[in-house]
Structures are given as structure tokens and as C-alpha cells.
Amino acid sequence: MGTSRKTDSNFVWTDLSSYDVAASRTFYEAIFGWKTYDMGRMEAGPDDRFGMDQVTYCIATLGDRPAAGIFDMPPFFQEIKMPPFWMSYLAVDDIEAVVARAKAIEGVVVDVEPTPFGEGTMALIRDPLGAGFTCYDGPDIDSKGDGTEYGRMVWNELITDSIAAVDHFYREVLGLNVIRDDEYADNRVKLINGEGEEIAGIQAVDESIRSKKVYWMPFFSVDALADFATRLDKAGGRLMSRTDFGSGTDSAICYDNTGAAFGVAETGAQYQDVKPWYRALF
């Protein structure tokens, strides 16, 4: 898995909607070594119902490359008491066509029609079971890592209720091939783009483990999980999985200091090494 590039389709960006941006910036600077910068208010499209023009956006960097975004929870989501969450961004070549195909599928919701995002265009789509992700059409975003750089996004995984209920959506709307992951029977599939790259996975996870929501989750590269767990705890976060760090397991799910969930994988692990996280919970 190489660095992200603008292909149709590939995950290229992630950002956090937070109720306490200052606390979130301090937390991720501590655990990932990010530097964060205030970029000012976001632009809002003509049909904005989320109050995006009231939101301040921050960019996090590692070295001379962007790593992620952190911004105020939009007013609409505050009103419905949406918990803090990480959003995954998928690059597409024709966002208008993607949105049109999405609207043709029953149960799909387009929360945000194509609207400006930096120098490009974004649209927020929810799959038939409600998992939201953002499509991005614009200049390259060089943010994704190859598993060797600490603190950089390396992978994205959909945690859902039923693979069968959503796999057609990712095939028909995004043109992705959905391939069964034989190692995990019927609980996981791989998503392959038109260039033959494995860009993500979909896991079917029982509600008793994943909670009631379904969601896309970014994974970030870290050092030995035992060392990272100490750093996480000191910063006010929590390792969700009860993992024996000597067992060879090299990925886990964490909560940050505000309750947002994110994944981590040990530095050097390739994307195919990110284990279905619920296997390490108990």
C-alpha cells in the first residue's frame, strides 16, 4: 500500500468532528506527534443545513505532509447529539456521477450535495445501512501512509451490521470489486478498486460489540501497541480491545479523550495485517 493518490477510488483523507477542538488537538499532538494549525472558517454550499460556515477547521501535519483534520462539531450534529466521530474521505473522478448513482439506490442518503472543500469538491453519502463517508473530487491529497510512518493514516474499515445489505452499493456507486476474505469466512470482504488495489475492508460485527451505529473507521500507524497504550492512557485515551500484546495481534481500536473511536496498527504492518478488531476484544 503506497501513499495516497487521486484514483477512483482510494481513501485519501480523514477528519475528526469534535465538541472540544482544543482538547482534541492536544490529545493527538501527544499520541501521534502531530502539529496542528487553525485554517479558519469552512466554506458552506448554498444548500448547507449543517451550519458549516460556523465551523473552524484545523489541519494536522507530520513532517511536511498533511495527516488529518480536526474541526468543530457542526451545529446540526450538536442538536441531534451526534457523538464525536472520524470521517473517511474517498477520492472519486466524477463526484456528480457518483452522487447520481447513489441517489438511484434505495435507502441511500446524500447528506451533503457536492460543495466546495479546499480546492476540490466533497459530498457526504450514507450507505443503505447508514454508514457515512465523504466523496472527494479534486487535487491530490498526499496524506495516507505506507505503514512505516508513525501517526499517519494507513487503512479504512467499514464496521457494519450486514455485508449483504451494503456490498451492492459499493459495487454500483463506486465501481469497487467486493471480494470475500477467506480467512474470516462470511464476516469480512475486501474492497478492490479499478487499479486492482485493496483499499478497504467491510466487517460484519454484532451490535453487542460495535454498539448500535455502523461506521467507517480510519486506522493510524503506531509503534509497539504496548508502548502506544501507555502513551494513550497518559493522554487521557483508552485502548478498547483487551489484547495480549505478545500474541502477535498488531491492531486495536481506541477511544480518544472526548470519546471518538479510531483504529491503530503497529508500524510496519501492511493493510492486510489489520485484523478484524472484534476478535481481540475478549
pLDDT tens digits, 69-119: 999 998 887 888 889 999 999 999 999 999 999 999 999 999 888 887 778
Residue 97 to residue 144: CA distance in whole angstroms: 25
Which listed CATH number (3.40.50.1950, 3.20.20.110, 2.30.110.10, 3.10.180.10) goes with 153-280?
3.10.180.10
Q: Which pLDDT value is given to residue 190?
A: 92
Predicted local confidence at residue 52, as pLDDT: 61
CB crowding 209-229: b at 16 or more within 10 Å, else e: ebeebbbbbbbbbbeebeebb
**What pLDDT was estimated at residue 282?**
25
- Distance CA(215)–CA(130), nearest Å, equals 8
- Write down the pLDDT at residue 170: 97
Check residue 171 and give its pLDDT: 96
Task: Fill in the DSSP letter of residue 230.
Answer: H
Would you state the pLDDT for residue 8? Answer: 62
Ranges of residues in the chain whose predicted pLDDT is under 50 = 1-6, 242-249, 270-282
- Listed in order, the ranges of the chain carrying CATH 3.10.180.10 are 10-137, 153-280
| Grid cell in block for residue 260 | 471518538
Dist CA 282 CA 271 (whole Å)? 23
Say which CATH class 10-137 falls into.
alpha beta
Predicted local distance difference test score (pLDDT) of residue 21: 95
Residues 6+ apart with CB under 8 A from 252: 225, 239, 240, 241, 243, 263, 264, 277, 280
pLDDT score for 212: 82
